[in-house]
Structure 1
Amino acid sequence: MFVVSLYLSCMTIVKAHDSSATYLANEAVLVSNGHTKVLFDPFFHKSFNQYLLVPQKTLAAIFAGEAPFDNIDAIVISHAHGDHFAADDVARYLEKFPATKLVAPQQAIKTLQVLPNVGTISSQLIPITLAFNDSPKTMQIGNITFEGVRIPHAGWPGRANIENIVFRVTIADDKKGAITVMHMGDADPNDDHYLPYKDHWTARKTHMAFPPYWFFYSMEGNYILDELLNAHEHVGIHVPTIVPKELKASGKDYFSTSGEKRTINRSVTP
């Protein structure tokens, strides 16, 4: 309890009426709009000696259901890599919080389905099954709209078997209005992957996108962000613990410290 209290006293609390994104580590982000909250890639064990792990005090707060991690509506997994997904922690969380849904690629769902306690959480598992070049898929859970596109993992054509999903998530709120965010996982910065889905990107304005930081390093990556994805703001994620000099000098916005927060400007028409 002391650890949780210490965490809460040190961290900027996300108020219930905020529309905001709060950084946990690596690609783990909490997005809140009104009373609705979505956690992206929150549980993982691998740092590969270069990426930030979620601090233990943050994990304690999450599993205690303490603000700002109370009443999480959904967890979203971008792909089943060890620096984004840990099946044991996901299952433990879902078992403790049966109202929370998990939206994840089929590869992550299959990893959960072999666990001994899967029967108690099976109704919370919502797979999104997408093959390479498939049309986008949309699903609705309460007041949250999830739209997924399979975009290859960075390093294409290597890792072509990895189901990396770019999620566009719209969270409605009767009083405050909707916000739309985009979590890109470890997407590859090649515009050939994005151009076939131009109609999908233009169909809805994204208030804030979370691309992996390497998009900021190339003309092609910046073209994707600025011209194709239809996103108002970009905040880089997957930033190494030692922030590269090139990233610091880029002038781009990015998360690098657990507890950082960005306000999402909902005045932009979704």
Structure 2
Amino acid sequence: MRYSKSILFIILWVLSIDSALSQTVTYLGNEGMLIEYQGKKIIIDGLFDDISGRFDSPDYDVMDDIIAGRGEYKNVELALITHAHPDHFDAPSFARFMFNNKKAKMVATLQAIDSMKLNTDLYDSIANRIAVTRWTKGWQINDTEDIGIKSAYTLHAGKAFTKVQNQMFLITIGDKKILHVADTQMDVDYFDDLRLIYEDIDLAIVPFWFLTNLFGAEIVDKHIEAKKVAGMHLPNKDNEKTLEKINSFFPKATVFSEPGQKISF
């Protein structure tokens, strides 16, 4: 029995060290990500079910683990919501996540907040841990004690979505910076105004449409200048030509295409 306890202790110690040293982004589906660094864990979007079937959704067991704070998703301390579209955000799921994970905080748009108020009776019990970003131009700061969070509203791609409150995030953990661009329209002037080239970004996670043409390539290369680039929001069928274009413009880029896929930064 003594040896069994010793072995169990060693296994748990090794796992805790591995978690503390983890420096990864795990793809949950579409634009959903789990970011881990220096023992800190953040989810971006990641709780939803795309009923259209066009984009990857998180596995149901993964969603259950995130909501319950189990396994790999234990001690997630921050949830970031880019916008309230159903292929990014499910209000009841995120409300349950916040209710179950008492130390977690959230940064969300007003539209996402309104959706939680309308679709769940849990909002009042979690409201004091949610920062609502105002729909204004430029960076807004919502830092936690040890994680830097800057968010900026951007135009959602597509003329039909001009009234959607869509925000990108620049996350600083220790000496690392990760940019999540959300469903943003390719607007050179806007990216220039954000002055991202001065941020020394380690990883930029951008929608695939930024990686398939010269216009997007200009933004990624000249107005973001990240050390690593990853593509997201890729439809899950008939992608051969899109992947060929991405490879021609960004041969070193990673494209998230399989839930559970991990990359380091």
The answer on whether the counterparts of 2:203 and 2:227 sit within 8 Å (CA) in structure 1 is yes
Quote the Cα distance in structure 1 between the aligned partners of 2:222 and 2:37: 26
SS in 2 for 1:20: strand
Q: 2:203 aligns with which of 196, 205, 208?
A: 208
| CA drift at 1:71 | 0.3
Structure 2 residue 39 is matched with structure 1 residue 35: yes
| CA drift at 1:47 | 4.0
For 2:133, the equivalent position in structure 1 comes to: 128
Quote the Cα distance in structure 2 between the aligned partners of 1:191 and 1:243: 29
Report 1 or 2 for greater relative contact order, CA contacts < 8 Å, sequence distance ≥ 6.
Answer: 1
For 2:151, the equivalent position in structure 1 comes to: 148
Q: Pick closer, same or farther for the CA change 1:96–1:73 going to 2, 3 Å.
A: same
Q: How does 1:25-174 map to 2 (within 5 A)?
A: 25-114=29-118, 115-131=120-136, 134-155=137-158, 157-172=159-174
What one-letter code is carried by the residue in structure 2 that aligns with 1:184? V
For 2:10, the equivalent position in structure 1 comes to: none
SS in 1 for 2:185: coil
| CA drift at 1:49 | 2.4
For 1:193, the equivalent position in structure 2 comes to: 190
Quote the Cα distance in structure 1 between the aligned partners of 2:160 and 2:20: 42
Runs (4 or more) in structure 1 with deviation over 3 Å come to none
Structure with greater helix percent: 2
| CA drift at 1:237 | 0.6
| TM-score normalised per structure 1 | 0.85
| CA drift at 1:45 | 2.4
What one-letter code is carried by the residue in structure 1 that aligns with 2:227? H
Structure 1, unmatched stretches of 5+, are 1-12, 173-177, 265-270
For 1:220, the equivalent position in structure 2 comes to: 215
Cα deviation code 1:155-212 (max 9, x no counterpart): 1x4411111111101112xxxxx211111111112313322223xx133111111101
In the comparison of the two structures, how many residue pairs are matched? 242
| CA drift at 1:243 | 5.2
For 2:11, the equivalent position in structure 1 comes to: none
Identity %: 24
Highest CA radius of gyration, 1 or 2?
2
SS in 2 for 1:161: coil
Q: Pick closer, same or farther for the CA change 1:202–1:248 going to 2, 3 Å.
A: closer
More moved, 236-245 vs 88-97:
236-245
Cα deviation code 1:213-256 (max 9, x no counterpart): 11111111111111101311111011111251123223242100
SS in 2 for 1:257: coil
For 2:177, the equivalent position in structure 1 comes to: 180
